Homo-oligomer: A and B are copies of this chain.
Amino acid sequence: MPRETYIPCLMDLFQQHGYDGATLARISAATGLGKASLYHYFPGGKEEMAVAVFEYLEGWMSDHILPALRGEGDGLTRLQRMCTQFNTLYEGGHRPCLLAIVLMGSARGLFHDRIRQVFQTWLAAIAEVLVEMGLPADLAQQRSEDAAISIQGSLVLALALDDPSPFQRVLQELPAELCRPADAS
């Protein structure tokens, strides 16, 4: 089996238990591979497993989020497509954000640069849509941050309350909120 086979499972584990909580014992149990076999696929150990998951996620963003934002349709349509993609990724709010999880754990230092990069790429792509719609660049930048804030914040709240509805509401309202004209409240 190519090592890509195990990436979704690994991502699952990191999302559910965090970097620290995803122990080799758990990973071994979940993948069905012995610890030594894991080192066959990932000689760098757990850190390399996490890197592989990040690369997978970066690929997923390139394949799903960026095309959704850059494809055809007006700005509102594109932002709605982005939200649909995130709804899948986070399973309607039932699953926390891997980036936030790693950022909040003891492995932050190891992956901080990588995580920042993902956020910056994402924010820039959103801002580009808003600029195309005629918003001034600085406001577009702010609104792109608002998008990240709403999505990340609603995932935190959904986790805290054990209730995905804040996330779902945010996805509903966000596209129109981002597109509203510059002078509206």
A84 within 8 A of B: no
Q: Which residues of B contact A154 (CB under 8 A)?
A: 149, 153
Q: How far is the CA of A21 from the CA of B18 in the complex (A)?
A: 12
A164 within 8 Å of B by Cβ?
no
- What does DSSP make chain A's interface, helix, strand, loop or mixed? helix
| Contact indicator per residue, chain A 151-174, by CB within 8 Å of chain B (1) or not (0) | 111101101111000100110000
A75: B residues at CB distance < 8 A: none
Contacting pair A156 B18 (CB below 8 A):
no
Query: Does A37 interact with chain B (Cβ within 8 Å)?
Result: no
A105–B21 alpha-carbon span in the complex (Å): 7
Interface pairs (12), CB distance under 8 Å = A17-B106, A20-B106, A100-B100, A100-B160, A104-B104, A145-B169, A149-B153, A149-B157, A149-B166, A152-B152, A152-B153, A153-B156
Task: Give chain A's interface residues, CB within 8 Å of chain B.
Answer: 17-18, 20-21, 96, 99-101, 103-106, 112, 115-116, 119-120, 142, 145, 148-154, 156-157, 159-162, 166, 169-170, 177, 180, 184-185
> Which 3 A-B residue pairings sit nearest by Cβ, starting from the closest?
A153-B153, A21-B106, A149-B153
